[in-house]
Amino acid sequence: MREISLHILDIVQNSVVAKATEIEVDICEDKKLDKLTVVIRDNGCGMSEEFLKKVIDPFATKRTTRKVGLGIPLLKMAAENTGGSLEIQSKEGEGTVVTAVFGLSHIDRQPLGDMAGTMLGLFTAYEDIRFLYKHKVNEKEFFVDTKEIRNVLGDVPFQAPEVYLWLSDFLKEGEEELNQMEV
């Protein structure tokens, strides 16, 4: 994968498949620590400890009864290639937290990619899911809770053209402001 945003999309899709009703996407770029941390938290079905081990390292088992997924191993590889790491906490019936840490200035770190477009796609594709999106760049923070937007909109869908355009501009502006901050 070329961009971190594509990994995020993949991990969020896992949460959707796990029937989450709330998904948190948290990105933190910290110049001082030289780290880019991505946390994706959901309240979906979760995984057993045993299953989780196989998910993180799909080649550790010769079991063929399950399709070998690559979303998580690819993210793990991308993070580790930058001196970072991947960690997953999960509890059956409670949810899952995926944390990926990247070396921010590492030469092999993929660009973050289009987070405004990624979140817009998710918000509109899964209107029934509450998304909490936070992106921090050093001291500055952009935060969106789709429940707050939903409360204002009432029954008007995110996909309604005027709402979609507004949402798109809102996300783009939020992201742009974060980057203007960079010194």
Site residues (CB under 5 A) for Mg ion?
10, 14, 71
Q: For residue 167, what is the DSSP state? A: H
Please choose which of ligand ATP, Mg ion, none residue 156 contacts, taking the beta carbon within 5 to 8 angstroms, the exact cut-off set by kind. none
Please choose which of ligand ATP, Mg ion, none residue 175 contacts, taking the beta carbon within 5 to 8 angstroms, the exact cut-off set by kind. none
Please choose which of Mg ion, ligand ATP, none residue 121 contacts, taking the beta carbon within 5 to 8 angstroms, the exact cut-off set by kind. none
**Phi, psi (rounded to 5 degrees) for 94:** -120, -45
From residue 95 to residue 114, what is the string marking binding to ligand ATP with x (rule CB under 6 A)? Answer: -x------------------
**β-strand 130-137 against 35-42: which pairing, if any?**
unpaired
Please choose which of Mg ion, ligand ATP, none residue 122 contacts, taking the beta carbon within 5 to 8 angstroms, the exact cut-off set by kind. none
69 or 157, CB closer to ligand ATP? Answer: 69
If one counts every other C-beta atom within 10 angstroms of the C-beta of residue 99, the result is 17
Query: Under 8 Å CB-to-CB from 55, ≥6 apart: which residues?
Result: 47, 69, 72, 88
- Return the residue of 8, 25, 38, 55 that touches ligand ATP, per CB under 6 A: 55
- Residue 48, classified by CB atoms within 10 Å of its CB into exposed (0-12), middle (13-18) or buried (19+), is exposed
d(CA 143, CA 43) in angstroms, rounded, equals 19
From residue 5 to residue 34, what is the string marking binding to ligand ATP with x (rule CB under 6 A)? Answer: -----x---xx--x----------------
66 or 147, CB closer to ligand ATP? Answer: 66
Sign of CA dihedral 39, 43, 48, 49: positive
Contacting residues toward ligand ATP, per CB under 6 A: 10, 14-15, 18, 42, 44-47, 55, 67, 69-72, 96
